Amino acid sequence: MWWIKKALVLDPAQGYTGERDVLVKDGFILKVGNFLEEDVPEFFGQENLEGVKIVEAAGKYLFPGLIDVHVHLREPGQEDKEDIRSGSRAAVRGGFTSVLAMANTKPVIDQRALVEFVRLQGERAGMARVYPVAAVTKGFQGQELVEMMDIREGGAVAFSDDGLGIQNAEIMRLAFEYAKLTGCPIISHCEDENLAARGVMRRGEASARLGLKGIPASAESVMVARDVLLAGEAGGKLHIAHVSTKESVMIIRTAKKLGIDVTAEVNPHHLLFSDQDVGLTRTDLKVNPPLPTKEDQEALLEGLLDGTIDMLATDHAPHTWEEKAKPFPEAPFGINSLETALAVVWQELVEKGKLPALKVIELWSRNPAQRFNLPGGTLETGSPADLVLFDPAYKERITAESMESKAQNTPFLGQELQGFPVMTWVGGKLVMADRKVICN
Amino acid sequence: MEGIPKNRIMDEDGIRRAISRISHEIVEKNKGTKDLLLIGIRTRGVPLAERIQKRIAEFEKVTLPLGLLDITLYRDDLSTIDVQPVLHETRVPFSIEGKTVILVDDVLFTGRTARAALDALIDLGRPQKIQLAVLIDRGHRELPIRADYVGKNVPTSRREIVSVCLQETDGRDEVLLLEKKS
Amino acid sequence: MQWRHKDLLDLDTLTAEEIRHIIKTAQPMKEILSRPMKKLPTLRGKNVVLLFYESSTRTRTSFETAAKILGADTTNFSVAVSSVNKGESLLDTAKTLQAMNVDLVIVRHSSSGAAEFLANVLEAGVINGGDGQHAHPTQALLDFYTLQEKLGGFEGKKIVIVGDILHSRVARSNVLGLKKLGADVTLVGPPTLLPDEMKYLGVKLSYDLDKELPGADAVMALRLQLERQQSGLFPSIREYSKLYGLSLERLKKTGKKTIVMHPGPMNRGVEIMSDLADSVQSVIEEQVTNGVAVRMALIYLLIGGGTGNVVD
Ligand SMILES: [Zn+2]
């Protein structure tokens, strides 16, 4: 039981911010409000008072735990990069109480047994809630659909071949149609492989200057257009992963106006780094989709503010040091993000007035919960006590030693950031305090 | 290299007389000008070689062929120095095969420049004889090398610097003895 | 001026003064090439490694010749005979070279940035012998040497580079350097090989060769990778050649005694016709000779003298 006193509460579900006390009992939110000292014992019940721990939270924000709908935890098969235990520990350190683990592991998660394995590994780790995302097509081959119903029974909350785009439009259309049985969204990694043509960064003057093979913006946008049309036609649920072009934003905005059931996410790195930041030795910034132009960044931010884009997601993609210590074209795509994402969004967007704090929580907690039908995302009485206490003044240098993730492929390595979660609860259980994961 | 001037070893007249004497000695020692070639070592050996060429032409009515030698690529201290020496062209537009080559330099000191020049010369062909002419011999040899023609022998200490100035390169003719700044 | 470079990776980091110093240093090297006895003691005991991940007999031979004339020992660490093709990472190869205490590594690699990657890991100097589509600085420098020799300078000279600009590290490095030297550069090619983003180079882009030829002091043809036809970048060799191939007749449009250059190896009858390649206007063979001289100059500058002031 917890009595969190005088926190600055951010709860987009109830639309408020302000100083409140938060009471937690039996893993659930008991009450949120401004209470008189003497009233509180009654809420917990006099007989329980000894078990109530008090947190003095003045000057710190309290919000529903973040839900990240796009992480790569690499287990099974690539445990040298990350595993479900290390990834879910990194998650709670970063303020995430739930994560959706992508299916591009080895083997890919395309059967119920594998889905259950991922779910169970998450439960064993006992950190963030780990929700499996299953493949859309068997073996990521883009040819035959997986047993979606059986897999949903096993605990999958969405389907995605993320890592690869589904090139065959007819398969994608069938996926939308069949997935209606499950009620789960299809998460689309929008990438036309012929247009992308094994490029390594956004095509433009920056790629021309560096002599790096470029991926045109259209490689993403034409697939976004295709998928919203297919979802509209088939009537399925579409979630577009890692939107990075202004054209994609425009298409999604139009699709929403047409009533198509589409949501979309943007990754913090696409808001914070542009193609101008890429250099031949900056493999830490090699990511897919590639870093966009400044114009794209403006459109993405506008999309977040006007509701075109529904959520933030990290696309946490750990890779070993050796894999990134290569010439740019040979290094793998991906940024290690769970432990820095909230801090940099806070430092660069919230503090600079580009994104209101309450909006960030809506984008990263409430909207993901609603779209993927997950518990959390709200502080309403009776909801699970997935909570984050966030200290906007807390400073930390990002180092290999301090990180819970197995990999350190972050562009912030060695840098000091400001604004970090200092306590994280999952289901009322404290899993992180003072920036340290609490072991069982 | 900077230094504090101590005294003047040679003035314009002194240099002129030394060149004249060396020129005569070259012709005398080689019994005429047949098969003689002059090769100046960059930088100040070049104007000295030109002056010798001109002087010999005056009294022998023969203009000896004149070449320029850059010895940078033959230096034995390249891997130990900090500076980046500028390369210049070596221009020896004639065959040295079977000839008598008079190498001309300003100062003979450790002998390393002369050694490098001998290597550079031999890469260009196989002369019959090589003789060395210098304006100043200041001693302190580190290699078994001696000059055949010397303008002036100047006993020096290692702390001293001999500075040769020529009209063509420095705008005046004189040789100074300097004390190294400590 | 100070010679402050451990490596030569691209033209971005060289100043005009440094480029001119390299050209100047190559002049005495060219004299040495004309000698019957081509061997210097300068770099005796120095070890130069040729690390070639892309086969290029020309470039490798040119570097090897240059290093050997200067008296260095050369080691070929080439794809066919080393662990390179067993999938050893470039990082591990670099560590191996470091352990061998080599003095200079000349690297050619299909990945842009591979030379810079090596330079960051190695204490030894690194010369970029061509990395991906990024840079080929020694080719550009030998082109500058040739232009200096033939045109007497760069200021106000019109230089037309024609061909597959998009994929050409030669074009990139040439443009960067020529701009610094004050030349007036025009790039010509079909839109698929000269896309809009090349405007970052800050020089004139054109699709029409015949329109750009008048007044040109030098025309440089780039090698066309014939397999690019399969990727749809141009419809046929025939059409490419018709639009962008250089011939003796076409070159008359310059109205000048224009020189013709090509980095080699040439596709005769595609980007350049034999009548022109073998004409007096062609300096293509001299480019090869100059290549050795320029590479000698660079090797000398990187591992011959120190990194202090340039002294005369
Ligand atoms: Zn993806």
Same domain, C244 and C143: yes
Q: Which domains does chain B have, with CATH numbers?
A: 3-75+86-180 (3.40.50.2020)
Active-site positions of A read: 315
Query: Tokens 């940024």 correspond to what residue?
Result: A335
What are the residue ranges spanned by the domains of chain A?
2-62+382-437, 65-371
Q: What is the mean pLDDT of residues C275-283?
A: 96
Q: Chain C residue with minimal CA distance to B43?
A: C312
Give the pLDDT confidence score for residue C310 in this predicted structure: 72
Q: Chain C residue with minimal CA distance to B73?
A: C42
Do residue B74 and residue C40 have CB atoms under 8 angstroms apart?
yes
Q: Report how far residue A308's alpha carbon sits from residue A266's, in angstroms, rounded to the nearest whole number.
A: 11
Q: What is the mean pLDDT of residues C34-42?
A: 89
Residue C5 belongs to a domain? no
- Where in chain B does DSSP place strands (E)? 3-10, 36-41, 66-69, 84-85, 100-108, 129-137, 149-153, 160-165, 174-180
Give the pLDDT confidence score for residue A37 in this predicted structure: 84
Do residue C310 and residue B88 have CB atoms under 8 angstroms apart?
no
Residue C20 belongs to a domain? yes
Which residue, among C17, C18, C37, C298, would best test binding to B if mutated, counting the most B CBs under 10 Å from its CB? C37
pTM of the model: 0.92
Do residue B90 and residue C70 have CB atoms under 8 angstroms apart?
no
Give yes or no for residue C151 having a pLDDT over 70: yes
Give the pLDDT confidence score for residue B182 in this predicted structure: 67
What kind of fold does domain A2-62+382-437 have according to CATH?
Urease, subunit C; domain 1 (2.30.40)
Q: How far is A205 from chain C (nearest CA, A)?
A: 5
Give the pLDDT confidence score for residue C79 in this predicted structure: 62
Whether C87 and chain B come into contact, CB under 8 Å, resolves to no
Q: Report how far residue B88's alpha carbon sits from residue C297's, in angstroms, rounded to the nearest whole number.
A: 12
Whether A194 and chain C come into contact, CB under 8 Å, resolves to no
Residue C90 has its nearest CB partner, among A205, A209, A327, at A327
What residues of chain A lie within 8 A of the CB of C114, using their CB? 327
What residues of chain B lie within 8 A of the CB of C3, using their CB? 84
What residues of chain A lie within 8 A of the CB of C128, using their CB? none
Give the pLDDT confidence score for residue A366 in this predicted structure: 97
Same domain, C270 and C142: yes
Average pLDDT value over all residues in chain C: 92
Q: Chain C residue with minimal CA distance to A323?
A: C89
Residue C130 belongs to a domain? yes
Q: Report how far residue C160's alpha carbon sits from residue C203's, in angstroms, rounded to the nearest whole number.
A: 11
What residues of chain A lie within 8 A of the CB of C109, using their CB? 327
Cα–Cα nearest to C218, from C267, C286, C268, C162: C162
Give yes or no for residue C142 having a pLDDT over 80: yes
Do residue A327 and residue C117 have CB atoms under 8 angstroms apart?
yes
Q: What is the CATH number of domain A65-371?
A: 3.20.20.140
DSSP A364: I
Assess contact for A275 and A287: CB atoms under 8 A.
no
Question: Residue C98 — left, alpha, or beta (φ > 0 → left; ψ -120 to 50 → alpha)?
Answer: alpha
Do residue C198 and residue A329 have CB atoms under 8 angstroms apart?
no
pLDDT digits (tens, 9 = 90+) for C83-114: 555 578 899 999 999 999 999 999 999 999 99
Residue C3 belongs to a domain? no
Helix, coil or strand: residue A424: strand
CATH number at residue C190: 3.40.50.1370
Cα–Cα nearest to A423, from A173, A88, A166, A61: A61
Residue C269 belongs to a domain? yes
Same domain, C97 and C158: no
Domain hosting C180: range is 137-283
Same domain, C111 and C89: yes
φ, ψ of residue B55 to 5 degrees: the values are: -65, -45
pLDDT digits (tens, 9 = 90+) for A38-96: 888 888 988 888 889 999 999 999 999 999 999 999 999 999 999 999 999 999 999 99
Question: Residue C33 — left, alpha, or beta (φ > 0 → left; ψ -120 to 50 → alpha)?
Answer: alpha
Q: Report how far residue A396's alpha carbon sits from residue A412's, in angstroms, rounded to the nearest whole number.
A: 11
Same domain, C174 and C270: yes
Question: Could you tell me which residues come within 8 angstroms of residue B17 by beta carbon, excluding any fewer than 6 positions away?
Answer: none
Q: Report how far residue C125's alpha carbon sits from residue A42's, in angstroms, rounded to the nearest whole number.
A: 76
What residues of chain C lie within 8 A of the CB of A330, using their CB? 90, 111
Low-confidence ranges of chain A (pLDDT < 70): 440
Q: Report how far residue B113's alpha carbon sits from residue B116's, in angstroms, rounded to the nearest whole number.
A: 5
Which residue, among B1, B72, B73, B169, would best test binding to C if mutated, counting the most C CBs under 10 Å from its CB? B73
pLDDT digits (tens, 9 = 90+) for C218-274: 999 999 988 888 788 999 999 999 999 999 999 999 999 999 999 989 999 999 999
pLDDT digits (tens, 9 = 90+) for A237-280: 999 999 999 999 999 999 999 999 999 999 999 999 999 999 99
Same domain, C87 and C174: no
Give the pLDDT confidence score for residue C86 in this predicted structure: 58
Residue C27 has its nearest CB partner, among B74, B81, B89, at B89
- Sign for the CA dihedral angle at C300, C302, C303, C307 comes to positive
Residue C98 belongs to a domain? yes
Which residue, among C40, C298, C299, C301, would best test binding to B if mutated, counting the most B CBs under 10 Å from its CB? C40
Question: Ligand 1 centre and the CA of A358: distance in Å?
Answer: 27
> What percent of chain C is predicted at pLDDT more than 70?
96
Q: Chain B residue with minimal CA distance to C301?
A: B84
Residue C2 belongs to a domain? no
Give the pLDDT confidence score for residue A137 in this predicted structure: 97
* Number of separate domains in chain C: 2
Give the pLDDT confidence score for residue C81 in this predicted structure: 47
Whether B119 and chain C come into contact, CB under 8 Å, resolves to yes
pLDDT (tens, 9 = 90+) of chain B, 182 residues, equals: 568 888 899 999 999 999 999 999 999 999 999 999 999 999 899 999 999 999 999 999 999 999 999 999 998 887 777 788 888 999 999 999 999 999 999 999 999 999 999 999 999 999 999 999 999 999 999 999 999 999 999 999 989 999 999 999 999 999 999 998 86
Assess contact for A437 and A89: CB atoms under 8 A.
yes
- Which band of pLDDT confidence, cut at 50, 70 and 90, is reported for residue C36? confident
Residue C311 belongs to a domain? no
Give the pLDDT confidence score for residue B84 in this predicted structure: 81
What the block records as the tokens of A277 is 């930041």
Q: What is the mean pLDDT of residues C40-62?
A: 92
- Contact partners for chain B, using 3 or more CB pairs closer than 8 A, are C
Is cis: bond before A368, omega within 30 of 0? no
